[in-house]
Amino acid sequence: MANILDENITYLKGVGTARANLLASELGIKTYYDLLNHFPYKYLDRTKFYSVRELNSDMNYIQLRGKILNVEVLGEKRKQRIVASFFDGTGTLKLVWFQGLKWVQQQVVPGKEYVIFGKPTEFNGVMNFMHPEIELVDNFKDKPDFSLQALYNTTEKMKSKFLNSKAIHKLQQNLLPLLKGKLPESLPAYLIEQHKLMHRYEALYNIHLPQSLDLLQKAQFRLKFEELFYIQLKLLHLKHYQTTSLGGFRFEHVGDKFNTFYMQYLPFELTRAQKRVLREIRHDTNTGHQMNRLLQGDVGSGKTLVALMSMLLAIDNGFQACIMAPTEILANQHFKSITELLTGLDVKVELLTGSTKQSQRRLIHADLVSGEIHILIGTHALIEDTVQFKNLGFVVIDEQHRFGVAQRARLWKKNVNPPHVLVMTATPIPRTLAMTLYGDLDVSIIDELPPGRKTVKTLHYNDSKRLRVFGFIKEQIALGRQVYIVYPLIKESEAMDYKDLEDGLESISRAFPPPDYAISVVHGKMKPEEKDKAMDLFVRRQTQIMIATTVIEVGVNIPNASVMVIESAERFGLSQLHQLRGRVGRGADQSYCILMTGNKLTTDGRTRIKTMVDTNDGFEISEVDLKLRGPGDLEGTQQSGIPLDLKIANLGRDSQILTFARQVAQDVLADDPRLTKTENFVLKKQMELKWKYEFNWSQIS
Ligand code: ADP
Ligand code: MG
């Protein structure tokens, strides 16, 4: 047989047809390889004992040592159950069994000392263990290898057929000895030696059957490293391919439009960070290779201006440019501010969105093809196939996290050579995630706000303090400021959220009556014209309060608005809260973000609110977000095409291993970009195996 890992799981001792079917349908485990790579999700330290006094119902599986006091059989027939009281010197709890009562009656004897193991739940003020594992203390002591017990994910259906975590553990015990001496290394020998990595078999053995904490940690390191290393190798290889093989337009000179704008039109001095990024872009676009650059910068850091100046550079070199924004409001806003900034310069800018009229659309299409239009601003409408350019040389994608990699790629197809791509995001992505999601991009960071900005003060209030908050809003309005009040909008319950907003509107209309106050309302159910009208009133300061759902989250820029009230703030994710807060603090006045919540917050909810109150640093916030939610749930990562549901590594927790893995991958490729050296043969093979990915080695010069 070719490879023992391809062996059908049915033939493993302890499996058989029924279990094999269950493993396949529930967990997708069909072969030895699949089972071997079904890693434990955690380990229980079975040397640690808890006491009854310290229990709470948030705890996961734990163990205690104590005496059974008495055992009762309660209920009739189907409702029959055994309830035992268990005492450990610090308190009493109840053990409950509904099944296997005969067995329980034999095993559980009053007066004897036991180790019990299970998950505590609270019921009528008493701690309960339902169906705990139970073992006489004397027997427990005799068990070897019992200090670190691997726990495996299973499903309800599997558990009902007794294919629980313990059963999987048993299968791993059957499998591993069969593989001894038969697992070829999946990393080159020189890397293993150089970085003192555990060998593959030993690592897999200790992941499932840890012989000590030390060996477990070494095993985890090796497997996490391997997982992250191959992702980085793939991304860096791709990047290498793009930068060395794909041709790119050359923006050779800085011309008239750029210079005139910079010298005569720019109303302020660029920050040092903006200048640095412009230099980076200028360099990239003059190499003859395609630029793929991610521009990260906190809200309000002036990314749009950098984008505009880069586009002028493109135009000076005879190319067209476009900006793609995720919403119409944003596209409109870009259009407005860019046309304003360019007034007097001979640059033709057009707007193309879903609501552009057909007749206008036709004109735009024609002017794009003839090259009359220099800059096209729009939404997804830009990537429709009917939109063709004469010579598209530079693409800006704003707020990237809403566009997938696939959409990025579609823009490339609009020209013979791919245009340079600048991806802008105001949702800072943790470094680790950026390395993975955008590992094929170069990253620029604007880490400096334009001068004179005051940091937004963030306050947290309970709903009961609403009147105080209203009083504060009145003070601010009296000072001439404007106020946003935002309500959550979560897809699943749009109707309910809409009701939140309506109720809110009612109470706010009462607290802020005309003619002293005027209110704008913007939400997703409105027609674009209605939305624009409401926005416009607010922009022109005809209204002082803007009540909205999260449609205003991204990019809206109204410097006079200095208060952002977020209702039910506990229902928002961190990146959303940060985005919303970024809507204020754009003018010279002190701004405020007020987070309104109920009294009862979950642990995560409390962490989110506290993080917002404690810091304004978007990167710090994104790190917390990553830890709370995991990468798969972070905004915009779903369609990334990169496997984020890693098997063993965790992008939130394993950032050091990731950095290390990326460095090693870089070193390997620097030395052997096509992986043609004998010692790297295993890398090439693994890449093909893991990514089922056609490497175009020959194209790399
Ligand atoms: P971002 O897109 O990064 O959120 P914008 O480009 O929209 O930020 O800039 C926010 C505001 O700051 C805009 O009103 C812009 O004109 C202004 N701005 C940008 N750069 C500077 C600068 N160097 N000095 C002063 N104001 C700036
Ligand atoms: Mg912006």
d(CA 628, CA 674): 39
Residue among 262, 294, 304, 444 to mutate when testing ligand 1 (max atoms within 8 A of CB): 304
C-alpha distance from residue 196 to each of 136, 189, 225 (Å): 42, 10, 12
Q: Tell the residue number behind the tokens 């008239």, with chain if given.
A: 256
The pLDDT of residue 416 is 61
In whole angstroms, what separates CA 242 from the centre of its chain? 26
Closest Cα to atom 5, ligand 1: which residue? 302
Q: Tell the residue number behind the tokens 């890449």, with chain if given.
A: 687
Task: Measure 301 CA to ligand 1 centroid, in angstroms.
Answer: 6
Ligand 1 atom nearest residue 446's Cα: 3
Laid out side by side, the sheet with 482-486 consists of 457-462, 592-597, 561-566, 482-486, 545-548, 519-522
Q: Tell the residue number behind the tokens 């701690």, with chain if given.
A: 127
For residues 172 and 320, state if they share a domain: no
Ligand 1 atom nearest residue 306's Cα: 6
Task: Measure 553 CA to ligand 2 centroid, in angstroms.
Answer: 11
Mean pLDDT of 71-96: 90
Task: Measure 555 CA to ligand 1 centroid, in angstroms.
Answer: 11
Q: Regarding predicted confidence, which is higher, 414 or 339? A: 339
Q: Cβ(668)–Cβ(683) under 8 Å? A: yes
Q: Which ligand is nearest to the CA of 299?
A: 1
Cβ-count burial of 471 within 10 angstroms (0-12 exposed, 13-18 middle, 19+ buried)?
exposed
**Per-residue pLDDT reduced to its tens digit, 143-194:** 655 578 888 988 888 888 888 888 999 999 999 999 999 999 999 999 999 9
For residues 408 and 469, state if they share a domain: no
The pLDDT of residue 407 is 54
Q: Which two tokens stand for residue 337?
A: 């501010």
Q: Which ligand is nearest to the CA of 337?
A: 1
Task: Measure 303 CA to ligand 1 centroid, in angstroms.
Answer: 7
Ligand 1 atom nearest residue 559's Cα: 14
Ligand 1 atom nearest residue 452's Cα: 25
Ligand 1 atom nearest residue 555's Cα: 4
Torsions phi, psi for 609 (to 5 deg): -65, -45
568 domain residue, yes or no: yes
Q: Which two tokens stand for residue 555?
A: 């990019």
560 domain residue, yes or no: yes
For residues 273 and 413, state if they share a domain: yes
Q: Which residues line ligand 1 (CB under 6 A)?
A: 268, 270-271, 274, 297, 299-305, 426, 450, 557, 586
**Per-residue pLDDT reduced to its tens digit, 643-695:** 556 788 877 678 789 889 999 999 999 999 989 999 999 999 888 877 654 44
Here the CATH number for the domain that contains residue 71 is 2.40.50.140
The pLDDT of residue 145 is 52
Q: Which two tokens stand for residue 103?
A: 């067995």
Helix (H) or strand (E) segment spanning residue 439: none
Is residue 205's pLDDT more than 80? yes
For residues 333 and 310, state if they share a domain: yes
Ligand 1 atom nearest residue 304's Cα: 6
**Exposure on the CB side of residue 73, measured as CA atoms within 13 A:** 14
The pLDDT of residue 582 is 87
Report the chain's C-alpha Rg in angstroms: 31
Q: Tell the residue number behind the tokens 């947290």, with chain if given.
A: 460
**Per-residue pLDDT reduced to its tens digit, 209-262:** 998 888 999 999 999 999 999 988 988 887 777 677 777 899 999 999 999 999
Q: Which of 561, 595, 615 is the last residue of a domain?
A: 615
Instruction: Classify 108 as helix, strand or coil.
Output: coil
Q: Cβ(452)–Cβ(271) under 8 Å? A: no
Q: Which residues of 602-627 are buried (b: 16+ CB within 10 A; e: fewer)?
A: eeebebbbebbeeebebbebbbbbbe
**Per-residue pLDDT reduced to its tens digit, 232-246:** 898 888 777 767 777
Closest Cα to atom 6, ligand 1: which residue? 302
The pLDDT of residue 77 is 80
For residues 71 and 109, state if they share a domain: yes
C-alpha distance from residue 444 to each of 275, 278, 428 (Å): 11, 10, 12
30 confidence band (pLDDT: 50, 70, 90)? very high
The β-bridge partners of 375 are 321, 349
Closest Cα to atom 19, ligand 1: which residue? 302
User: Taking each helix axis from N to C terminus, what angle separates 165-179 and 200-208, rounded to the nearest 10 degrees?
Assistant: 160
In the structure, ligand 2 is a single-atom ion and the residues with CB under 5 Å from it are 555
For residues 480 and 390, state if they share a domain: no
697 confidence band (pLDDT: 50, 70, 90)? very low
For residues 571 and 484, state if they share a domain: yes
316 domain residue, yes or no: yes
Q: Which ligand is nearest to the CA of 585?
A: 1
Here the CATH number for the domain that contains residue 523 is 3.40.50.300
618 confidence band (pLDDT: 50, 70, 90)? confident
For residues 3 and 69, state if they share a domain: no
Q: Which two tokens stand for residue 537?
A: 């009133």
Task: Measure 495 CA to ligand 2 centroid, in angstroms.
Answer: 30
Q: What number of other Cβ atoms are within 10 A of residue 321's Cβ?
A: 28
681 domain residue, yes or no: no
Ligand 1 atom nearest residue 341's Cα: 16
**Per-residue pLDDT reduced to its tens digit, 467-511:** 999 999 999 999 999 999 998 864 445 555 566 778 888 889 999
The pLDDT of residue 414 is 54
Q: Which of 391, 422, 446 is the last residue of a domain?
A: 446
Mean pLDDT of 364-387: 90
* Strand-pair category, 545-548 with 482-486: parallel
611 domain residue, yes or no: yes
d(CA 347, CA 328): 22
Task: Measure 330 CA to ligand 2 centroid, in angstroms.
Answer: 8
Cβ-Cβ contacts under 8 Å for 409 (sequence gap 6 or more): none
**Which range of residues forms the domain containing residue 10?**
1-46+166-183
Ligand 1 atom nearest residue 269's Cα: 23
Residue among 278, 444, 557 to mutate when testing ligand 1 (max atoms within 8 A of CB): 557
Closest Cα to atom 9, ligand 1: which residue? 302
For residues 567 and 578, state if they share a domain: yes
Q: Which ligand is nearest to the CA of 274?
A: 1
The pLDDT of residue 636 is 44
Task: Measure 647 CA to ligand 2 centroid, in angstroms.
Answer: 35
Task: Measure 492 CA to ligand 2 centroid, in angstroms.
Answer: 28
Ordered DSSP codes for 566-619: ETTGGGS-HHHHHHHHTTSS-SSS--EEEEEE-S---HHHHHHHHHHHH---HH
User: Of the candidates 615, 485, 461, 472, which has an alpha carbon nearest to the alpha carbon of residue 543?
Assistant: 485
d(CA 633, CA 625): 9
The pLDDT of residue 319 is 96
For residues 367 and 481, state if they share a domain: no
Q: Which ligand is nearest to the CA of 327?
A: 2
Q: Which ligand is nearest to the CA of 446?
A: 1
Task: Measure 399 CA to ligand 2 centroid, in angstroms.
Answer: 7
The pLDDT of residue 641 is 45
Here the CATH number for the domain that contains residue 14 is 1.10.150
* Strand-pair category, 120-123 with 126-130: antiparallel
Could you give the number of structural domains in the chain?
Answer: 4
250 domain residue, yes or no: no
Mean pLDDT of 559-567: 94
Mean pLDDT of 398-421: 63
Cβ-Cβ contacts under 8 Å for 284 (sequence gap 6 or more): 291, 293, 420, 442
Q: Which ligand is nearest to the CA of 296?
A: 1
Range name among 8-17, 424-433, 618-627 with the lowest pLDDT average: 424-433
Q: Which of 122, 154, 183 is the last residue of a domain?
A: 183
Instruction: Classify 289 as helix, strand or coil.
Output: strand
Q: Cβ(324)–Cβ(397) under 8 Å? A: yes
What integer best gives the mean pLDDT of the chain?
86
Task: Measure 279 CA to ligand 2 centroid, in angstroms.
Answer: 20
Task: Measure 489 CA to ligand 2 centroid, in angstroms.
Answer: 21
Q: Which ligand is nearest to the CA of 330?
A: 2
Closest Cα to atom 24, ligand 1: which residue? 450
Is residue 363's pLDDT more than 50? yes
Residue among 294, 301, 305, 454 to mutate when testing ligand 1 (max atoms within 8 A of CB): 305
The pLDDT of residue 698 is 34
Task: Measure 271 CA to ligand 1 centroid, in angstroms.
Answer: 10
Task: Measure 314 CA to ligand 1 centroid, in angstroms.
Answer: 21
Q: Which two tokens stand for residue 697?
A: 């080695």
Q: Cβ(242)–Cβ(440) under 8 Å? A: yes
Is residue 23's pLDDT more than 50? yes
Task: Measure 262 CA to ligand 1 centroid, in angstroms.
Answer: 15
Is residue 38's pLDDT more than 70? yes
For residues 417 and 289, state if they share a domain: yes
The pLDDT of residue 687 is 86
662 domain residue, yes or no: no
For residues 437 and 471, state if they share a domain: no
**Per-residue pLDDT reduced to its tens digit, 573-595:** 888 898 889 889 888 789 999 99
**Per-residue pLDDT reduced to its tens digit, 594-604:** 999 988 888 88
d(CA 45, CA 52): 18
Q: Which two tokens stand for residue 678?
A: 């004998």
Ligand 1 atom nearest residue 299's Cα: 4
Ligand 1 atom nearest residue 301's Cα: 3
Task: Measure 304 CA to ligand 2 centroid, in angstroms.
Answer: 6
Cβ-Cβ contacts under 8 Å for 101 (sequence gap 6 or more): 73, 80, 81, 82
Closest Cα to atom 26, ligand 1: which residue? 450
Ligand 1 atom nearest residue 271's Cα: 23
Task: Measure 539 CA to ligand 1 centroid, in angstroms.
Answer: 17
Is residue 630's pLDDT more than 70? no
Ligand 1 atom nearest residue 298's Cα: 3
Q: Which ligand is nearest to the CA of 582?
A: 1
d(CA 305, CA 163): 59
Range name among 119-123, 184-188, 243-247, 535-539 with the lowest pLDDT average: 243-247
Identity (one letter) of the amino acid at 665? Answer: A
133 domain residue, yes or no: yes
The pLDDT of residue 381 is 80
Closest Cα to atom 15, ligand 1: which residue? 302
